[in-house]
């Protein structure tokens, strides 16, 4: 290394140094430690004892683990596509040159500002089986509403419905993307005889596909780590563990039960699952997603 190169290196490292410490202490060390703990019997109170893959083997036979995994994937499988369709459709409507667009956008965005804890309390109250205003409203329409929070079959649908209340965030993103679509492309499509649907399928969606993919992947990562809402609204995942989410079961193993090794094994499975599903999404999208300039 020349003198100048050395100087540059020192300067670069100086600027990045707080982050290098953060990277080492708050990211790299915990990942390695987590992998090690996942191979140990570890209660925090005593030193970890190495037990090989026993935690992973136990997980495979743990009914609650499978239930929590199923609940989480079930939620993601419905909440993500529904959220995509609702938010994209809303953004399309807002992008039709409609008056008061900014007012609508603000209103749609408001629910996604509500802190998770407040959101949980609001919906506990709205969905309350006895005095909940949603079932009262349904009764007016001659429908007897279900026990949203008390019947095992309805807890996950309740959370999926709630997730739609918070799609405003995605609406803002899609709307910004739609406003960037060059007008000439629509004009060219019109010259080729494309109608509203034709333009949507052949211009809008291809151009928006990278944004959609990015937001689906972020949504997937978020859903797999869903914690606050089920933790607060359905303590212990009740009724019948129908709302026991992966991250909640992981947390319960770690802190209340102090099964740190077991929780770490769960964390690593979550990590690999996140990685695997993301790569799968990227793979499926290959050739279907349009990137400008290649």
Residues 219-278 that bind another protein (CB under 8 A): 221, 224-225, 227-228, 231-232, 235, 247, 250-251, 254-255, 260, 263-264, 266-268, 270-271, 274-275, 278
User: Does position 122 bind another protein by CB under 8 A?
Assistant: yes
Q: Are 160 and 75 spatial neighbours (Cβ–Cβ below 8 Å)?
A: yes
CB of 231 to another protein, least distance (A): 8
Whether the CB-CB separation of 127 and 151 falls below 8 Å is answered with no
Contacts with another protein: how many residues (CB under 8 A)? 106
What is the full DSSP assignment across 98-136? Answer: -TTHHHHHHHHHHHHHS-HHHHHHHHHHHT-TTT-HHHH
Q: Does the protein bind another protein through residue 44 (CB under 8 A)?
A: yes
Least distance (Å) from another protein to the CB of residue 85? Answer: 13
How far apart, in whole angstroms, are the C-alpha atoms of residue 198 and residue 188? 12
The verdict on 51 binding another protein (CB under 8 A) reads no
Find out whether 229 and 159 touch, Cβ atoms under 8 Å. Answer: yes
135/242 with CB nearer another protein: 135
Give the one residue of 59, 91, 170, 220 binding another protein; rule: CB under 8 A: 170
At its nearest, how many Å lie between another protein and the CB of residue 31? Answer: 6
Of 56 and 104, which has the nearer Cβ to another protein?
A: 104
Check residue 11 for interaction with another protein (CB under 8 A): yes
Applying the rule CB under 8 A, the residues between 71 and 100 that interact with another protein are 90, 92-99
- Confirm or reject binding of residue 21 to another protein (CB under 8 A): yes
Binding test (CB under 8 A) with another protein, winner from 54, 73, 84, 173: 173
């Amino acid at each position: 290394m020349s003198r100048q190169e050395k100087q540059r290196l020192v300067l670069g490292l100086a600027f990045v140094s707080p982050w290098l410490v953060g990277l080492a202490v708050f990211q790299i060390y915990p990942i390695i430690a987590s992998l090690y703990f996942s191979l140990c019997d570890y209660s925090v109170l005593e030193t970890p004892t190495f037990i090989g893959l026993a935690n992973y083997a136990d997980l495979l036979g743990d009914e609650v683990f499978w239930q929590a995994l199923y609940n989480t994937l079930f939620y993601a499988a419905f909440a993500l596509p529904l959220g995509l369709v609702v938010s994209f459709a809303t953004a399309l409507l807002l992008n039709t040159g409609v008056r008061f667009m900014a007012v609508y956008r603000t209103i749609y965005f408001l629910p996604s500002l509500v802190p998770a804890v407040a959101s949980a309390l609001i919906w506990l109250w709205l969905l309350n089986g006895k005095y909940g205003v949603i079932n009262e409203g349904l009764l007016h329409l001659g429908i007897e509403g279900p026990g949203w929070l008390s019947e095992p079959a309805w807890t996950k649908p309740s959370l999926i419905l709630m997730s739609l209340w918070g799609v405003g965030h995605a609406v803002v993103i899609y709307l910004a993307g739609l406003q960037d679509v060059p007008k000439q492309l629509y004009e060219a499509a019109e010259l080729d005889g494309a109608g509203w649907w034709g333009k949507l399928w052949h211009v809008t969606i291809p151009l928006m596909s990278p944004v959609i993919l990015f937001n689906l992947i972020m949504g997937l990562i978020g859903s797999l780590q869903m914690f606050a809402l089920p933790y607060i609204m359905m303590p212990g995942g009740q009724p019948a563990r129908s709302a026991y989410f992966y991250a909640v079961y992981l947390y319960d193993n770690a802190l209340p039960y102090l099964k740190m090794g077991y929780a770490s094994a769960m964390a690593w499975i979550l990590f690999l699952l996140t990685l695997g599903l993301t790569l799968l999404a990227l793979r499926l999208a290959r050739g279907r997603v349009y990137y400008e300039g290649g």
